[in-house]
């Protein structure tokens, strides 16, 4: 019979616990680098496809042409897909009992969500870096000062933060990764395409143009374009958000977070409490 | 920290420790909508002992464990783990127990060692301690060579062992195991039992749920039988077996052709004889060891070749049938259940047991 050593269990804080969980998610990426395809190969393909295949037939009036116009749009789409990343990861963990395992430990239950959010935000940021490098290669440039440039990236990450809550909500509500894929594809693709992301809105039919210009993704895209000097002069009759994209983007981030975060937490609790 | 002191002051082997309860459930009730999953379950597990929570699928075993481990809030009732109330002090409960759930919840993309480190970090354990404890645990669970491979490459038995090792990284005094051997092959099952026995010998209190009667029989000091959310019987494995009547004398002949002759031989010496042609077995109510020896002598003289003769206690399966009127395990699990221990029970009958 051995005498068991009972180690000291220190109560660590939420940051340390969240970091431990985020680190585990990073290890996942290291083991399965193909998880990064959604923020590397996929958007790069989009950039190349749109820039070279459709680009010649889309007429924009930005100084550097369609490619400069396109880049902020694809970046906005990529951060919007952060919700996808969160939802898929969370559903997989719930499904496999990893979340229950964590909840049986003496840790703050929020650490599971915060850790997941940190790693997803980093995941999406990798996409922004890859996108920026690709852009530089094909002729995209930021034409403003460093503060405006940085502000553009901050807005993109802020958007990513709001999208994390959407991801937690969807991830808690869905029963399988396949269901998450289905729901996210069916919603995020139309939302991110029915906007000014890939094509100027002024040539769309009136109703479509109205929807596209009020689409929150359009505010974000337009804000980033303005901040980076990639915007074209506003067309006649542009909707109100297009004239004030930065306040609208900040407003959307706050509104989405304020509405979805409580829903997400409630759904996650309901899913895990019973 | 507080826990360590508490446990040190009461050595697990002392008589005092045996009388203290490490796990107590008091009238636990859980409703899911209109469904009553658990309907007033109470039990108590003395420190350093093993309680087997036995019942068929859907009896409420997992829900009971989830309530005791603070994962699910009871609709009514409460419980204590290592003296901490599951409702008022769930954090202290989580510090004092480990849980190995029904599905092996190891992270497949991490190596064995990384799985241990993750949970160790979350417990706030010192990293040099985690390294040392991981080495020891991997060694103990025969995973030393696999420690740096991702868990995806592990067999079912290895995953279970890793899952258990992960639950033990902080050496919790109380361990909950929800169907720890479901889906394991017989060899892995026996290996896992061995590890569990060692843990108990080291002073850990164990609550395990199982649908395998044999498993409850093998490991538990006490068994609580639950069916449809309520406790229908409890006691030691021996007490439960005694409840459903006397032992039987079982004679197995080597050649099925001898079965009729054997029956005729046995008939005058038994109140009744039951013939099982498929198993080449004759079963009669036992009248004690002397009776068995006499019958053995008669067959010896007759020249009929026997495979086996012995006393068979009612198995827990018989007990379950007796208590509930239905069998504990249906269909798919039968193969696993019928096998090793029943036979063992039979051949060793009257001697070892």
Instruction: Report the pLDDT value the prediction gives residue B146, as an integer from 0 to 100.
Output: 94
Nearest to B129 among A7, A12, A28 (CB): A7
- Residue A58 is encoded by which pair of tokens? 């889309």
Contacts of B70 in chain A (CB under 8 A): 103-104
Interface of B with A in 291-310 (CB under 8 A): none
B32 touches chain A (CB under 8 A): yes
Would you call A4 and B202 a contact, using CB atoms and an 8 Å cutoff? yes
Contacts of A28 in chain B (CB under 8 A): 109-110
- Looking at per-residue pLDDT, the higher value among B8 and B63 belongs to B63
Instruction: Report the pLDDT value the prediction gives residue A218, as an integer from 0 to 100.
Output: 94
Identical fold for domains B2-241 and B245-347, yes or no, is: no
Q: Does domain B2-241 have CATH number 3.90.1170.50?
A: no
Instruction: Report the pLDDT value the prediction gives residue A40, as an integer from 0 to 100.
Output: 87
How far is A15 from chain B, CA to nearest CA, in Å? 11
Contacts of A105 in chain B (CB under 8 A): 94, 119, 122-123
Instruction: Report the pLDDT value the prediction gives residue A6, as an integer from 0 to 100.
Output: 72
Check pLDDT > 70 for residue B344. no
Would you call A4 and B171 a contact, using CB atoms and an 8 Å cutoff? yes
- Map out the domains of chain A as residue ranges: 15-273
Read off the pLDDT of each residue in B14-20 and give the average, rounded to a whole number.
53
- pLDDT one-digit tens code per residue, B217-231: 889 999 999 988 999
Question: Concatenated DSSP letters for B178-214?
Answer: ESTTTT--HHHHHHHHHHHHHHHHTT-EEEEEES-HH
Instruction: Report the pLDDT value the prediction gives residue A274, as an integer from 0 to 100.
Output: 67
Interface of B with A in 197-236 (CB under 8 A): 201-204
For B5-109, list the strands marked E by DSSP.
21-32, 35-46, 50-54, 76-81, 84-85, 97-100
> What own/partner pairs with CB < 8 Å and gap ≥ 24 does A25-33 have?
A25/A89, A25/A115, A25/A116, A25/A119, A25/A120, A26/A119, A26/A122, A27/B109, A27/B110, A27/B114, A28/B109, A28/B110, A29/A119, A29/A123, A31/B109, A31/B110, A31/B150, A32/B109
Instruction: Report the pLDDT value the prediction gives residue B78, as an integer from 0 to 100.
Output: 95
Instruction: Report the pLDDT value the prediction gives residue A66, as an integer from 0 to 100.
Output: 86
Report the 10 Å Cβ neighbour count for A67: 22
How far is A265 from chain B, CA to nearest CA, in Å? 16
Q: Sorting pLDDT into bands at 50, 70 and 90, what band is B22?
A: very high
Contacts of A11 in chain B (CB under 8 A): 124
B134 touches chain A (CB under 8 A): no
Distance CA B305, CA B302 (A): 9
How far is A124 from chain B, CA to nearest CA, in Å? 21
Is the Cα dihedral B220, B225, B230, B231 positive or negative? negative
Interface of B with A in 158-197 (CB under 8 A): 170-171, 173
Would you call A105 and B94 a contact, using CB atoms and an 8 Å cutoff? yes
Read off the pLDDT of each residue in A148-158 and give the average, rounded to a whole number.
95
| CATH number at B245-347 | 3.30.70.980
Instruction: Report the pLDDT value the prediction gives residue A5, as an integer from 0 to 100.
Output: 66
User: What's the number of CA atoms in the CB half-sphere (13 Å) around residue A36?
Assistant: 20
Contacts of A102 in chain B (CB under 8 A): 122
- pLDDT one-digit tens code per residue, A70-89: 999 999 999 998 888 889 99
Contacts of B124 in chain A (CB under 8 A): 9-12, 16, 106
Would you call B4 and A274 a contact, using CB atoms and an 8 Å cutoff? no
Output the 3-class SS for A221-233: HHHHHHHHCCCCC
B244 touches chain A (CB under 8 A): no
Report the 10 Å Cβ neighbour count for B301: 8
Instruction: Report the pLDDT value the prediction gives residue B338, as an integer from 0 to 100.
Output: 34
Name the residue in chain A with its Cα closest to that of B170. A7
Instruction: Report the pLDDT value the prediction gives residue B275, as an integer from 0 to 100.
Output: 87
How far is B140 from chain A, CA to nearest CA, in Å? 13
Would you call A5 and B171 a contact, using CB atoms and an 8 Å cutoff? yes
Would you call A9 and B110 a contact, using CB atoms and an 8 Å cutoff? no
Instruction: Report the pLDDT value the prediction gives residue B317, as an integer from 0 to 100.
Output: 72
- Map out the domains of chain B as residue ranges: 2-241, 245-347
Q: Sorting pLDDT into bands at 50, 70 and 90, what band is B348?
A: very low
How do beta strands B205-210 and B174-178 pair?
Answer: parallel
Q: What is the dihedral of CA A47, A50, A51, A57, to 10 degrees?
A: -170
Would you call B118 and A20 a contact, using CB atoms and an 8 Å cutoff? yes
Residue whose tokens read 């490991």: B219
Instruction: Report the pLDDT value the prediction gives residue A234, as an integer from 0 to 100.
Output: 83
Instruction: Report the pLDDT value the prediction gives residue A203, as an integer from 0 to 100.
Output: 84
Distance CA A118, CA B162 (A): 27
Nearest to B71 among A32, A100, A111 (CB): A100
How far is B316 from chain A, CA to nearest CA, in Å? 30
- pLDDT one-digit tens code per residue, A200-256: 888 889 899 999 999 999 999 999 999 999 888 888 888 888 999 999 999 999 999
Q: Sorting pLDDT into bands at 50, 70 and 90, what band is B112?
A: very high
Instruction: Report the pLDDT value the prediction gives residue B57, as an integer from 0 to 100.
Output: 83
Read off the pLDDT of each residue in A87-115 and give the average, rounded to a whole number.
90
Q: Sorting pLDDT into bands at 50, 70 and 90, what band is B302?
A: confident
What percentage of chain A has pLDDT greater than the value 70? 96
Nearest to B119 among A1, A100, A105 (CB): A105
Nearest to A24 among B13, B32, B118 (CB): B118
Would you call B124 and A9 a contact, using CB atoms and an 8 Å cutoff? yes
Would you call A2 and B202 a contact, using CB atoms and an 8 Å cutoff? yes
How far is B241 from chain A, CA to nearest CA, in Å? 31
Would you call A6 and B124 a contact, using CB atoms and an 8 Å cutoff? no
- pLDDT one-digit tens code per residue, B134-174: 999 999 888 999 999 999 999 988 998 899 999 999 989 99
């Amino acid at each position: 019979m051995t005498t068991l050593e009972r180690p000291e269990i220190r109560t660590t804080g939420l940051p340390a616990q969240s970091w431990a969980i985020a680190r585990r998610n990073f290890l996942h990426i290291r083991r399965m680098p193909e998880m990064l395809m959604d923020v590397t190969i996929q958007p790069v393909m989009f950039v190349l496809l749109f820039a070279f295949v459709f680009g010649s037939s889309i007429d924009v009036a930005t100084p550097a042409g369609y490619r400069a116009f396109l880049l902020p749009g694809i970046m906005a789409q990529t951060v919007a897909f952060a919700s996808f990343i969160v939802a898929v990861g969370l559903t997989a963990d719930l499904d496999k009992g990893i979340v229950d395992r964590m909840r049986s430990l003496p840790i703050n239950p929020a650490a599971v969500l915060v850790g997941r959010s940190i790693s997803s935000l980093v995941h999406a940021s990798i996409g922004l870096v890859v996108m920026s490098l690709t852009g530089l290669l094909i002729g995209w440039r930021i034409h403003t000062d460093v503060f405006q440039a940085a502000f553009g990236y901050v807005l993109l990450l802020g958007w990513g933060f709001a999208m994390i809550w959407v991801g937690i909500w969807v991830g808690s509500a869905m029963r399988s990764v396949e269901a998450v894929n289905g729901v996210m594809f069916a919603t995020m693709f139309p939302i991110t395409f029915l906007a000014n992301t890939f094509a100027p809105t002024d040539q769309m039919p009136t109703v479509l143009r109205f929807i596209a210009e009020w689409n929150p993704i359009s505010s974000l895209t337009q804000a980033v374009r303005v901040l980076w000097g990639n915007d074209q002069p506003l067309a006649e009759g542009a909707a109100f958000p297009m004239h004030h994209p930065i306040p609208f983007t900040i407003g959307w981030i706050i509104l989405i977070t304020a509405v979805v975060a409580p829903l997400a937490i409630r759904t996650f609790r309901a899913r895990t409490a019973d | 920290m507080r826990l360590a002191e508490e446990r040190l002051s009461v050595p697990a082997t002392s008589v005092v420790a045996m009388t203290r309860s490490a796990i107590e459930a008091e009238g636990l009730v859980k409703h899911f909508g209109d469904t009553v999953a658990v309907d007033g379950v109470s039990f108590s597990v003395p420190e350093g002992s093993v309680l087997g929570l036995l019942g068929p699928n859907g009896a409420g075993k997992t829900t009971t464990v989830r309530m005791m481990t603070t994962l699910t809030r009871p609709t009514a009732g409460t419980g204590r783990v290592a003296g901490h109330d599951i409702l008022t002090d769930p954090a202290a409960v989580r510090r004092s127990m480990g849980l190995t759930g029904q599905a092996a919840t190891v992270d497949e993309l991490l190596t064995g060692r990384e799985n241990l480190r993750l949970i160790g970090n979350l417990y706030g354990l010192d990293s040099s301690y985690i390294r040392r404890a991981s080495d020891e645990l991997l060694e103990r669970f025969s995973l030393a060579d696999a420690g740096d491979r991702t868990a995806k490459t592990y067999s079912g038995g290895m995953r279970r062992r890793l899952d258990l090792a992960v639950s033990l990284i902080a050496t919790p005094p109380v361990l909950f195991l929800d169907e720890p051997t479901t889906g394991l092959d017989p060899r892995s099952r026996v290996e896992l039992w061995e590890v569990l026995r060692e843990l108990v010998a080291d002073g850990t209190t164990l609550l395990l749920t199982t649908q395998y009667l044999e498993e409850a029989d093998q490991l538990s000091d006490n068994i609580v039988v639950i069916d449809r959310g309520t406790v229908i019987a409890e006691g030691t494995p021996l007490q439960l077996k005694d409840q459903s009547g006397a032992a039987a004398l079982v004679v197995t002949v080597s050649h099925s052709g001898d079965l009729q002759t054997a029956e005729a031989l046995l008939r005058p010496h038994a109140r009744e004889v039951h013939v099982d042609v498929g198993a080449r077995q004759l079963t009669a109510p036992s009248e004690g060891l002397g009776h068995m020896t006499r019958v053995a002598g008669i067959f010896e003289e007759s020249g009929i070749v026997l495979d086996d003769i012995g006393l068979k206690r009612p198995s827990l399966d018989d007990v379950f049938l007796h208590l509930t009127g239905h069998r504990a395990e249906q269909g798919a699990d039968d193969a696993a259940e019928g096998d090793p221990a029943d036979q063992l029970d039979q051949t060793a009958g009257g001697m070892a047991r």
